[in-house]
Amino acid sequence: MVRVRSAISTRKRKKGVVKSAKGQFGHRSRRYQQAKRSIIKGMAYAFRDRKAKKREFRALWILRINAACQEEGVTYSRFINGLKKAKVDINRKALSEMAISSPAAFKKLVKLSKESPSEESKKKKKTASDSTE
């Protein structure tokens, strides 16, 4: 029986690993074992950071919306609650872009959220309780 040597497939596999470690610093880009470890760690970071990226962008959008709301004299939470009560379904990314690129349209949304049904019912309750006293 003929002896099977795996040198070709091993070299091909190792070459692929080292090639994918291109751009790494020092032995990480030249030695197989270090390259392999570095790639595994890099993939773990990539997986984790794809999730973190989404969280970070949402936080940024909320920050921008809050800053624009503060200029209009309303808090972020009341603004979002007012939009929900007014049945305005718009995501935070679009709201953030609107606050930056078209402040006039954002002001209209703030006005709409202030005039939502919940705010009006609070005003009526206050006036009713004031008149009874």
Which CATH number do you get for residue 37? 1.10.1900.20
**Does a structural domain hold residue 46?**
yes
Q: Which long-range contacts (CB under 8 A, 24 or more apart) does 74-79 make?
A: 74/110, 74/113, 74/114, 78/113, 79/109, 79/110, 79/113
8 A C-beta contact, residue 86 and residue 113 = yes
User: Does residue 4 belong to any structural domain of this protein?
Assistant: no
Asked whether residue 31 is domain-assigned, the answer is yes
- d(C-alpha 15, C-alpha 47), whole Å: 24
Please indicate, yes or no, if residue 131 is contained in any of the structural domains. Answer: no
Q: Which residue has the tokens 């920050």?
A: 63
Domain extent, residue 78, equals 20-125
Which one-letter amino acid corresponds to residue 64?
A: R
- Domain membership of residue 7 (yes or no) is no
pLDDT in tens, the chain (133 residues): 888 888 999 999 999 999 999 998 999 999 999 999 999 999 999 999 999 999 999 999 999 999 999 999 999 999 999 999 999 899 999 999 999 999 999 999 999 998 877 555 566 666 666 656 5
pTM of full prediction above 0.85: no
The structural domain count of the chain equals 1
